[in-house]
Structures are given as C-alpha cells and as structure tokens.
Chain A
Amino acid sequence: MDTLLNFIVAAVLAATPLLFGALGEIITEKSGNLNLGVEGMMFMGGVAGLAGTYYYEKAVGEPNAVVSMIIGVVCAFLCAMFGAFIYSFLTITLRANQNVTGLALTTFGTGFGNFFGEIMGNAAGGYVSVGTVIKAAFDEGIPVLKDIPVIGKLLFDYNFMVYLALGLTIILAYFLSKTKTGLNLRAVGESPATADAAGINVTLYKYLATCIGGGISGLGGLYIVMNSANGTGGVWVHNSISGYGWLAVAIVIFATWSPVKALICSLVIGSLSVIPYYYQIPFIHSAIYEIFPYIATVAVLIIMIFRKKKSNLPPASLGLAYFREER
C-alpha cells in the first residue's frame, strides 16, 4: 500500500514538468507555430528562476517562501518568454523556417542555461544553491491538509507548482473550447487566411500564443531545477533538463492538442519513468526501464498515424508562415 502511494506521488511529481512543457507547446501550436525549442525554453526558464530566487535570497538574507515562489515563477516565465519571442520574431515577422528556428532555439537555450548556471556556480565558489527556505517552498505541500492520513499524502502533499499545472490545464481547456478568443486562436492555427478574412489579427495572435506558450513551457524547466524529486533541488546541475523538452513535444502530439489529454499523457509517461524505483521485475535489467517512456512515445506515435480522425489532426497550417498578399 505504501509503495503504491509513494509510486503515485512520484509519478505525479515526474509528470508535472512534462505537463508544463506540453501545455505551453499546445498553445503555441494552436496558433500554427511549431516551436521545437521547448527544451531550450525550459533551460532558459530553469536558470532564470534559479537565478531570481538565489539573488533574492542573497539580497535579503532571510527569504520569504511565498515571495520566492513568485520571483521564481515570474523570472522563469519571462526568460522563457524571451526565448519564444526571438522565435516569434524570426518565424512570424521574418517568416523563417519554423523547424530550423525551433532547433536553433533548443541549442541556444541549452547553452544559455548551462552557461549562466556555471557562471553563477563559479561566482558562488563551486556550485550555486539556494537555502532551505526556498528549497522547501518548491518542495512542500499544503500545510495542515497534507497531514490527513493517506488522502493528505495523495492529494495535498505536492508542491505549489503541481497545483499550478493542474489549474493551467483546466483554464486552458476552458479557454480553447469555450471562449471566443480561444476559438479565434484555433482559427488562426487552422487557416490563417480565413482568420484574417474574418478580421482576426493573425500576427498578434501568433505572437501572443507563442510567447505565452513559451513562458509556460519555461515553468517546466523551473520545476526541474527547483524541485528535489529528481535529485537535488535548488541547485544548477549541468544538462539537468535534457530530454524533457522533447518528451513534452511528443506528449502534445499524442494528446492530440488537448490540454486534458496532455495531463493524462504526462501522468502515463511520468509513471513509466519512475516505475523502476518502486516495482522491479527481477529479470528485467533496471536500465531497460529507463527507455520505457521513449518506447511508449514511439508506440503511441505509430498508433496515431493509423487513427486518423479529423478532430485529432494537428492544426492544419502548423509549421507554415502566413503572408496575406501571397498569391
């Protein structure tokens, strides 16, 4: 029973950064922009969030938990958004190739994160690390409620970012299906010419969706850096985010661009990645477990190819630049 409980908790914790990455990418892709720079933006968000909280702590000495949460989230969001803005400018205004630009953003963001992470570490004399208060802020669950037996651990013992991700999922799902702005955004991604003819400002929508989506993806990076479920929290570990961004992109595809399905897919991938720590089958080598998430990704992508339903297809103009007077 305890193992099961721990397993579920660990799965949720492992799923959260993927969910952030996927949610951000869903908004981005709904506007017709295929931003493959998710991983880069996660790196940028992660290092900026760490830097924000670290310097806040250095400045005041006695950090406040809530303030450090806000600083971390805002810094991560803005920095990742900056990455997405570069991408937007190149692909929307200059109409550069989206795939290439996205890949470049991944390379750029990875370097950006590691570079500033190392610089901060060198300045701090070895490695950069935040104090216990901030670590706790990104680790601990809801006070009082988390002490209820079983239920407390199952539902209330997560850090605030898990609830943030959950909230974002619900807001996004509502936004996309029930609001006019969401409808307009979908139209932009499906057929920008139609949206344009209907009087929607295509460029504005694309910019906003891509930048906000990038910011949300960046929160995934913040989570990986600050949360200690993956090892040490609040410390810059070289290349700590590698791979998560790509899993997030894959989740977007098999969640068929739906935020709620992205939540489920993230949980599946998350649990696959932690399963070896809780349930070991004797004759399978532990290294095999590590590739489970990737095998699942490949399998689902293949299934998706055979399951062609119109409403499951990607936004029709995904990856294409839009120019009104093109003939």
Chain B
Amino acid sequence: MEAAAIQLKNLTKTFGSVVANDKVSLEIRHGEILALLGENGSGKTTLMNMLSGIYYPDGGEIFVNGKEVIIDSPRDAFDLGIGMIHQHFKLVDVLTAAENMVLGIKEKGRLNTKVIGEKMREICEQYGFNVDPDKKIYDMSVSEKQTVEIVKMLYRGAETLILDEPTAVLTPQETEKLFAVLRNMKKDGKAIVIITHKLNEVMELSDRVAVLRKGIHVGDLVTAETNPQELTNLMVGHSVTLNIERTLCEKPVKKLEVRCLCCTNDDGVKVLDNINFDAFGGEVLGIAGISGCGQKELLEGIAGLQKVTGSIIFYPEDGKQPEELNGKSPMEIIKRGVSLSFVPEDRLGMGLIGNMDLADNMMLRSYNKGKSPFADRKTPAELAEKVVEELEVVTPGIDVPVRNLSGGNVQKILVGREIASEPSVLMSAYAVRGLDINTSYTIYNLMNEQKNRGAAVIYVGEDLDVLVELCDRILVLCDGKVSGILDGRNTTKEEVGLLMTSLGGEKEVSA
C-alpha cells in the first residue's frame, strides 16, 4: 500500500497548563478529503498549525510520505509540499495576486509578473478557478482572496492542502464553487484536509472524518458509514453531571423583548439575522453556539455598543412604561439597569483597565454619579473590599493593578462589579473562560443569586454541560440565526449540539 501523504503519531502541544493536543495520531492520504471535526477549542487548528510550521510540537512525530520529518518553520512545510489556508488570509493587501504568489520563493532574477501570471492561469484552468493576477488584494472580495490563497499554495507545489474553516466567510454559491474545485484537486491526487464544525459539509464533501474533543482524537470514521447524530455524539461527548443548583422560577416577569434584530458587519456579512426572543426576570437564559455565530454582536447590540436594526424593548420594574433601547447610548442603557460583563479572550478587554487598581476599576461604573465635581473614591473602595471578600479574590490589596492578578481573579472582579450594580438584566459572556472548577462554581452561584433576586440573566457559554445544567432556557444560535430555543430542564447536550450545527431545524419550547 502507498504510504500516507502525512502521518501524525502522538502529537502533543500545550500552551501553559492547557493541553491543546494530547497524543493525536492521524493519517492524511493522497486523493482523499479528510474532515477534521470538533467544537471550539478542541484543538483542530492547533494540530494543523503544527503541520504548517506555525507551532512546534511538544512531543510526537510527523511522517511525510513515510519519512520522518521535522517542521520547524513555515518554509519547511512548503518544502514538504504542505500548504495551509488560514482563517485569516495570509496575503499582503497592497500587492497584486501575482506578487503574492512569489513571496518568499528563493529564485534568482528580477520580478516578472507576466511569467507568474501565465503560470497562475495554467493552474486556474486545470482546477477551474478564476483569478486576475494583476488585481490588488485590497480590491478583492473575501471569496476571491481565498481563491488566491489556494492558487498560491498550488503555485508553490503543495501536495497537501489544509483549509481552516474555509466556508465560514463564503456564501452558499461560493461554497459550492469551492467544493467543486476541491473535488477536482482530489481527483488529481492531492491530499486535502478541511477543518470544520459544520456537519452538513462534512457529509457532503469528505471521504473520512476525524473527530477531536478537548484535544483528544476520539474518532476516525468513513463518512459514508456514519451519520450526523453519531458525529455529534462524538463531538460533544458523554454528559457529565455537574450538580449546579437550579431553582425553579416562580413567576417570570418579562424584562427584555428582542424583535427582528439584525446586524451587518464591516464586510457586509449579516452576522445577526432576525433574532427574536424574550428574557424574563428570575431565569437564566443561556445562549449556545459555535464561536463567531453572533453571540458577541447580540450582546453588544443590546448594550448599545454595536449598531443593530430591530427593536429591543426594556420593561422597567414596577410597571413603568416599556422603553426602546435600540438607539440609546451605552451610558443610558446602563442607567436603566442593563449590564454587560463580557470576558473576551484576553480577559481584560472592554471591562477592566489593567493598569488601574481594583478600586479605580470599580469606579469605572460610578465615576459620574453624584453632583460633586470630585469623584467619590470611598464608595468604590468599599465596593472593591466587598467584592474581594465575598468572591474570595486572591489579591494583596485593593490598590494593586488589575493586570497583576491571575485570570480567574480578574474575572471575579469584573463579574462582581457588574453584579454589585444590581442590574435588572445581567448579560455575561464567557464568564468562566479559563477558570478552574471551584471558581467557576462561585460564578455560577453568583448568577443564580441574581436570578433569585429577580434579575434576568443572559449567559453566553462555551461548555454545553454547564449550559444544560445552569440555564432555564437555552437559545441556540447558528450562523447569526436562532436555530432553536430549548427548555434547559428537558434538553440534552446532543440536542443543543445538533442545533448549533443547524440540523435540528426550528423548534420552540416555551418556558
């Protein structure tokens, strides 16, 4: 039998204490399309980055055409015929397509764009692409850029192509075109890997599927012999019982009514498409979805940080007149008691200022309260003391810059501050990102306290086990659309997982 194009044996990569890939073994074969499937953070991209020379593995071996190799840099990967098309294209905007082709190629002589253009045309004809070699990258659409990336890899003689979520930025028509091209390349004997979390694409395009879960290779299947349900189960794993206390909501009061919310990003792509839901006081509404499906835009839209169309009606306490929030400034929205604690990847991001101490960070919410021209420093300091004590924040004192605290403690302060303002709607995204179990429970309990106090809690989470245990209702987003709202008590992780990949169809369960 012919040796596999690429064989990985026990590849391991860790970032700090996080194991991104744990002893992954995998085979990529010529003339075959392999789909690499997994949830967010399951280590798909990390694994492929080790093949393309961006990361260096901590352990394990890589074989190319049966020979063991060491991939130390992207150049090594090129020399071995491995080309990766990253999610963020690696193209120089101000150069033309042709100029981008030859970047870094060690060839003598001057730059002759005509010769390059000619060679590009040959490749395009062979596989059915359409690229203008003299067009500048900044004049191109996303799909054109992607085509340039693929042509670039072929131009450099890539035999193995790795595509990282290639369809995330494409329209359905463009996706079809891409798939046709990929099938042509497969016929030509190239080995192709697509990283994806869209099950329908896996079923449609791939020959084999490798499933990763939390950095571990959990399954290697032939596409024709499997089905979406089996794949979902592999992807999300078996349910874990977490025993998060969940009190029954006695009489839900409507706090927020979101109707026809739409949002278009800078590239003209619709990131939120006709979102409708209600949030009730006394319940936790979970929001599930693959990352980048509109969670961020949804929360920011409600908080007034993102321009959206549609209506967001806020129902104040004690039966005052409902108010439209869309169009109001973030400050006005906060004053009405709608608070957002968003924990971005770098944790500080929008919520806290790293160089300021705990007390000053508390002041960010209160500096403009009161009439005095001098800021009130005493109340925030007391609040900081209180948060430190109640949430068991590990810190030498409240006059320490926030950036000196560990990630978990930073998050406690962020969430603690938002809760201290006693919001009537508390939105929290990725509040437990990167936290250990105990700290996570502290945060869950805080959410529950707010819920029992009568606030509407909107919780965006990554861990499906937690969502299913914590939330009263779960709204599932898929590609900017609501693919379903489920009752947290009667649903399973698998059901949520299916909806996240848009196979469950529209389904509504009332709370």
Q: Do A and B bind each other?
A: yes
Which residues of A line the B interface, CB within 8 A? Answer: 178-180, 182-184, 186-187, 190-191, 193-200, 310-311, 313, 316, 324-325, 327
List the B side residues contacting A310 at CB < 8 Å.
Answer: 93-94, 136, 138
User: B179 an interface residue at 8 Å Cβ cutoff?
Assistant: no
In B405-439, the 8 Å CB interface with A consists of: none
- Select one of B55, B84, B92, B110 contacting A180, CB under 8 A: B110
- Select one of A194, A199, A325 contacting B91, CB under 8 A: A194
Interface string of B53-81 (1 = CB under 8 A from A): 01100000000000000000111001000
Q: B73's closest neighbor in chain A, by CB? A: A199
Inter-chain CA distance A137–B15, complex, in Å, is 61
User: B350 an interface residue at 8 Å Cβ cutoff?
Assistant: no
Inter-chain CA distance A187–B74, complex, in Å, is 15
Q: Which of B55, B93, B103, B111 has the most A CB atoms < 10 Å from its CB?
A: B103
Expressed in whole angstroms, the minimum distance between the Cβ of B312 and any Cβ of chain A is 33
Q: Are A311 and B92 in contact (CB under 8 A)?
A: no
Expressed in whole angstroms, the minimum distance between the Cβ of A261 and any Cβ of chain B is 16
Q: Are A194 and B94 in contact (CB under 8 A)?
A: no
Inter-chain CA distance A180–B78, complex, in Å, is 18
Given A194-B103, A324-B54, residue A178 in contact with residue B110 (CB < 8 A): yes
In B423-462, the 8 Å CB interface with A consists of: none
Q: Are B111 and A180 in contact (CB under 8 A)?
A: yes
Q: Are A190 and B94 in contact (CB under 8 A)?
A: yes
List the A side residues contacting B92 at CB < 8 Å.
Answer: 186-187, 190-191, 194-195
Q: Are B95 and A198 in contact (CB under 8 A)?
A: no
User: B1 an interface residue at 8 Å Cβ cutoff?
Assistant: no
Expressed in whole angstroms, the minimum distance between the Cβ of B15 and any Cβ of chain A is 8
Q: Are B95 and A193 in contact (CB under 8 A)?
A: no
- Select one of B54, B95, B99 contacting A197, CB under 8 A: B54
Expressed in whole angstroms, the minimum distance between the Cβ of B165 and any Cβ of chain A is 16
List the A side residues contacting B73 at CB < 8 Å.
Answer: 196, 199
Q: Are B90 and A197 in contact (CB under 8 A)?
A: yes
List the A side residues contacting B110 at CB < 8 Å.
Answer: 178-180
Q: Are A183 and B95 in contact (CB under 8 A)?
A: yes
Q: Are A325 and B103 in contact (CB under 8 A)?
A: no
Q: Are B93 and A199 in contact (CB under 8 A)?
A: no
Given A178-B110, A197-B74, residue A184 in contact with residue B103 (CB < 8 A): yes
- Select one of B104, B107, B109 contacting A195, CB under 8 A: B104
Expressed in whole angstroms, the minimum distance between the Cβ of B480 and any Cβ of chain A is 25
Inter-chain CA distance A316–B138, complex, in Å, is 12
Inter-chain CA distance A197–B55, complex, in Å, is 11
Q: Are B78 and A187 in contact (CB under 8 A)?
A: no
List the A side residues contacting B90 at CB < 8 Å.
Answer: 191, 193-194, 197-198
Expressed in whole angstroms, the minimum distance between the Cβ of A192 and any Cβ of chain B is 10
List the A side residues contacting B105 at CB < 8 Å.
Answer: 180, 198-199
Q: A193's closest neighbor in chain B, by CB? A: B90
Inter-chain CA distance A191–B93, complex, in Å, is 8
Expressed in whole angstroms, the minimum distance between the Cβ of B335 and any Cβ of chain A is 36
Expressed in whole angstroms, the minimum distance between the Cβ of B138 and any Cβ of chain A is 5
Interchain residue pairs A-B with the least CB separation, the first 7: A199-B75, A198-B104, A194-B90, A199-B104, A200-B104, A198-B103, A197-B90
Expressed in whole angstroms, the minimum distance between the Cβ of A320 and any Cβ of chain B is 15
Expressed in whole angstroms, the minimum distance between the Cβ of A300 and any Cβ of chain B is 21
Q: B46's closest neighbor in chain A, by CB? A: A327
User: B86 an interface residue at 8 Å Cβ cutoff?
Assistant: yes
- Select one of B52, B86, B94, B103 contacting A311, CB under 8 A: B94
Q: B75's closest neighbor in chain A, by CB? A: A199
User: B19 an interface residue at 8 Å Cβ cutoff?
Assistant: no
- Select one of A179, A199, A325, A327 contacting B78, CB under 8 A: A199
Expressed in whole angstroms, the minimum distance between the Cβ of B488 and any Cβ of chain A is 32
A-B contacts besides A196-B73, A196-B74, A325-B55, 5 pairs, CB < 8 Å: A187-B103, A187-B104, A191-B91, A197-B74, A310-B138
Inter-chain CA distance A219–B95, complex, in Å, is 31
List the A side residues contacting B94 at CB < 8 Å.
Answer: 186, 190, 310-311, 313, 316
Inter-chain CA distance A228–B99, complex, in Å, is 45
Q: A194's closest neighbor in chain B, by CB? A: B90
List the A side residues contacting B99 at CB < 8 Å.
Answer: 183
- Select one of A200, A324, A327 contacting B103, CB under 8 A: A200
User: B102 an interface residue at 8 Å Cβ cutoff?
Assistant: yes
Inter-chain CA distance A196–B74, complex, in Å, is 7
Q: Are B102 and A183 in contact (CB under 8 A)?
A: yes
Inter-chain CA distance A182–B92, complex, in Å, is 14
- Select one of A184, A186, A199 contacting B74, CB under 8 A: A199
Inter-chain CA distance A191–B91, complex, in Å, is 8
Q: Are A325 and B54 in contact (CB under 8 A)?
A: yes
Inter-chain CA distance A190–B100, complex, in Å, is 12
- Select one of B86, B95, B111 contacting A179, CB under 8 A: B111
List the B side residues contacting A311 at CB < 8 Å.
Answer: 94, 136
Inter-chain CA distance A200–B100, complex, in Å, is 12
Inter-chain CA distance A186–B96, complex, in Å, is 12
List the B side residues contacting A198 at CB < 8 Å.
Answer: 74, 78, 90, 103-105
Given A197-B90, A200-B104, A325-B54, residue A190 in contact with residue B111 (CB < 8 A): no
In B129-162, the 8 Å CB interface with A consists of: 136, 138
Expressed in whole angstroms, the minimum distance between the Cβ of A199 and any Cβ of chain B is 3
Expressed in whole angstroms, the minimum distance between the Cβ of A259 and any Cβ of chain B is 16
Expressed in whole angstroms, the minimum distance between the Cβ of B355 and any Cβ of chain A is 15
Inter-chain CA distance A195–B91, complex, in Å, is 8
Inter-chain CA distance A294–B37, complex, in Å, is 60
Show 9 residue pairs from A and B whose CB-CB distance is below 8 angstroms, ordered by the A residue. Answer: A178-B111, A183-B111, A190-B92, A190-B93, A194-B90, A194-B92, A197-B54, A197-B84, A311-B94
List the A side residues contacting B86 at CB < 8 Å.
Answer: 197
Q: Which of B78, B94, B107 has the most A CB atoms < 10 Å from its CB?
A: B94
Inter-chain CA distance A166–B428, complex, in Å, is 62
List the A side residues contacting B95 at CB < 8 Å.
Answer: 183, 186-187, 190
